[in-house]
Amino acid sequence: MSLYWAFLRRDWFSQTSYKMFFVGQVAQMVALVAIVYLIGSAVGGFAGFSVGLGFVKFLLVGIAFADLFTACVQAGPNTLRDAQVTGTLETMMLAPIRTLHLILASSLFPILRSALRAIIVLTIGSAYFHFWPQADLLGAVLVVVPAYLAFAAVSLLGSAYVLAFKQGDPVTGGFMAVNAILGGAVIPLAKLPVILQDAGLFLPLTHALAGIRDSFEGKPLTTIGAETAVLWLSFAVLGPLAFLAFRAALKIAAREGSLVHY
């Protein structure tokens, strides 16, 4: 735990050295909610919601958690790529610490920062618009945990790509773009063409957002059971695959002595 705390302290002091860090985060999220309100109020009827705040509530949950999971997916590849470009990757790898722990520790602050943004957005929605009065936070946690693990596995796959090809990772960016479009973050899945609806069912964000929205509406845990099961299955498939890919990429890079190349 001391390793994670050390990296968290490092990134905390680096970010908060900018005096407007917290003000900037809050201002960005307030502006985002205002934009979502204007867009959601204007097009809610066309999106299949009753005219009013229904679509705004849909968008706030989608954007907040899509941002959180995007941060999770991109944290690992971004950490490795930054280390490659700055020439610190080899030094990091030589430290008496497992590489996976280094990536996780370096990824901690970006994920927590995104979680803070999500909390700000959801707090505004709850306090100002009175959304989710019967939210089941336990149910939301039961969905978020397997969703986070599934997206973390994708992040590890992206990290393997960075090690193997010495380039910025296009995999995770493309993956999250597809998830955002087809996963119900901003467009209700039911409003997409049938073929895209079917494709969306294979994306973890679809089930994560569906389960979270149901939890926020206070629906029983049995309702979110199917979504949670799909997310655990996604992790069961992606987790071992990502670990094997990352280990293979690391061995190849170490054998070729290419850790300092980029």
What is the C-alpha to C-alpha distance for residues 127 and 12, in angstroms, rounded to an integer? 28
pLDDT for 233:
96
Give the Cβ contact number of residue 94 at 10 Å.
9
**Residue 251 reports pLDDT greater than 60:** yes
**Residue 50 reports pLDDT greater than 70:** no
The separation between the first and the last C-alpha atoms of the chain, rounded to the nearest angstrom, is: 31
State percent of the chain over pLDDT 70: 82
**Residue 142 reports pLDDT greater than 70:** yes
Region 202-222 average pLDDT: 94
User: Band of the pLDDT at 90, cuts 50, 70, 90?
Assistant: low
Q: Which residues contact 84 (CB under 8 A, 6 or more apart)?
A: 162, 166, 261, 262
Closest CA to 123 of 112, 141, 135: 135
User: Band of the pLDDT at 31, cuts 50, 70, 90?
Assistant: confident
Closest CA to 152 of 244, 73, 243: 73
Spell out the SS3 assignment of 23-75.
Answer: HHHHHHHHHHHHHHHHHHHHHCCCCCCCCCCHHHHHHHHHHHHHHHHHHHHHH
**Residue 32 reports pLDDT greater than 60:** yes
pLDDT for 25:
72
Q: Are 208 and 147 in contact (CB under 8 A)?
A: yes
Residue type, 96: P
Q: Which residues contact 158 (CB under 8 A, 6 or more apart)?
A: 73, 74, 76, 77, 169, 171, 172
Of the candidate ranges 39-53, 70-84, 137-151, the one whose mean pLDDT is the lowest: 39-53
Average pLDDT value for the chain:
83
pLDDT for 95:
62
Polymer length in residues for the chain: 262
**Residue 41 reports pLDDT greater than 80:** no
Closest CA to 224 of 120, 136, 156: 136
Region 83-105 average pLDDT: 68
pLDDT for 107:
77
pLDDT for 126:
93
Of the candidate ranges 91-95, 156-160, 216-220, the one whose mean pLDDT is the lowest: 91-95
Region 14-24 average pLDDT: 68
Region 6-22 average pLDDT: 69
pLDDT digits (tens, 9 = 90+) for 166-192: 776 777 888 888 998 899 998 888 888
- Token pair 């610490």 in the structure block, residue: 97
pLDDT for 176:
87
Closest CA to 37 of 128, 116, 115: 128
Triad 66, 70, 72: Cα angle to 5° = 120
**Residue 259 reports pLDDT greater than 70:** no
- Return the SS3 of 101: helix
pLDDT for 35:
85
pLDDT for 165:
78
Determine if the pTM surpasses 0.85.
yes
What is the C-alpha to C-alpha distance for residues 25 and 21, in angstroms, rounded to an integer? 6
Q: Are 191 and 48 in contact (CB under 8 A)?
A: yes
